[in-house]
Amino acid sequence: MRLGVLDIGSNTVHLLVVDARPDARPTPAADERSTVRLMRYLDDDGTITPEGVAALSAAVARATAAAERLGAEEMLGIVTSALREAGNGPEVLTGLEGVAGVPLQVLTGRQEAELTFLAARRWHGWAAGRLLVLDIGGGSLEIATGIDELPDYAVSLPLGAGRLTREFLRSDPPTAEQVRALKAHVEETLAPVVAELAALPAAHHVVGTSKTFRSLARLAGQRVAVVGPEERRRMQLADLADWTPRLAKIPAEQRMELPGITPERTYQIVAGAMVAQRAMKRLGVDEIEICPWALREGVILRRLDALSA
């Protein structure tokens, strides 16, 4: 069957269409996205402005039309942190469901972490042993670890790259004071999770998912020779720590000249790099491997599992 996933996130409205069947690897058919950067459209009380609602509606309409054009037989709609936490989230969600023509499931932070972990587990397989999975989105950071397909530990923290850029890095490029304040906030927010993970067995393999980690790995990482056509990269903490302060000194428009820094990520890549660096350092991670599968693939896999049951 041709299956589509409509992911309404903090940074993009993303449509992934795959050809899928139970007990087989999903084959990508199309991958389309519209950059919204929803954090730009939040009032001080967290309400999405009318301009933001219009931008979301237009992006969802484009994705829905694309899914119809591509012949998607079933559509799964998911919503993550930015809309989940918005003051007018429920009414905006109702409107977007009317545009999409399908129900939109509002995922909890834990569900985001668990589905992303499932995707990473299936991609890396049982031979990877105990996984630690980090996922930096626009609104949140998900951390999960475990030996099975359901993690032993999963948490979502309000450390998304878009959120932190809006709250802390208001200048372009950010000031040294803004960078120090963000660093202190990230450290404080991570502290209880670091303590909880310290009580669990150490991971055999650490992976990062989603666009922020992929962008950083293209900038600060290195390619890894693997079987198959997919590009794979690993990133050393030392290399990321070298690039993070350099990124903070470059204006957003100039960052796009760097490898891996796309227009939709250039404004928030500094915050993303700071979260990635601080998380790796505090969790004792010297090297991280980039996993090409993340939340959307996890949603597809969970649906295929249900069809097989």
Question: What per-residue confidence (pLDDT) applies to 34?
Answer: 94
pLDDT in tens, 26-36: 999 999 999 99
Structure tokens at 305: 């599992």
pTM for the full model?
0.95
Tell me how far apart the alpha carbons of residues 166 and 37 are, in angstroms, rounded to a whole number. Answer: 10
d(CA 149, CA 134): 15
d(CA 235, CA 111): 26
Closest by Cα among 23, 203, 197, 237 to 128: 203
Q: Is the pLDDT of residue 199 over 80?
A: yes
pLDDT tens sequence across 217-275: 999 998 886 666 677 899 999 999 999 999 999 999 999 999 999 888 899 999 999 99
Would you say 268 and 138 are in contact if contact means Cβ atoms under 8 Å apart? Answer: yes
Query: Percent of the chain, pLDDT > 90?
Result: 87
Edge to edge, what strands does the sheet with 27-35 contain? 27-35, 12-19, 2-8, 74-79, 104-106
Checking if the pLDDT of 130 tops 70, the result is yes
Q: Three-state SS string across 165-233, please? A: HHHCCCCCCCCHHHHHHHHHHHHHHHHHHHHHHHCCCCCCEEEEEHHHHHHHHHHHCEEECCCCCCCEE
User: Can you give the length of the chain in residues?
Assistant: 309
Confirm or reject CATH 3.40.440.10 for domain 2-106, answering yes or no. no
CA atoms of 124 and 232, how far apart (whole Å): 12
DSSP secondary structure string for all residues of 283-304: TT-SEEEEPS--HHHHHHHHHH
Domain boundaries, the chain: 2-106, 110-295
- Strand 2-8 to 12-19 pairing: antiparallel
Average pLDDT (173-200) is 98
Question: pLDDT at position 19, please?
Answer: 96
CATH 3.30.420.150 fits 110-295, yes or no: yes
What is the per-residue pLDDT across 143-166, written as a single tens digit (0 to 9) for each?
A: 999 999 999 999 999 999 999 999
pLDDT of residue 308: 83
For the stretch 92-115, pLDDT in tens is 999 999 999 999 999 999 999 999
The two domains 2-106 and 110-295 share their CATH topology (first three levels equal): yes
How many angstroms separate the CA atoms of 292 and 81, rounded? 21
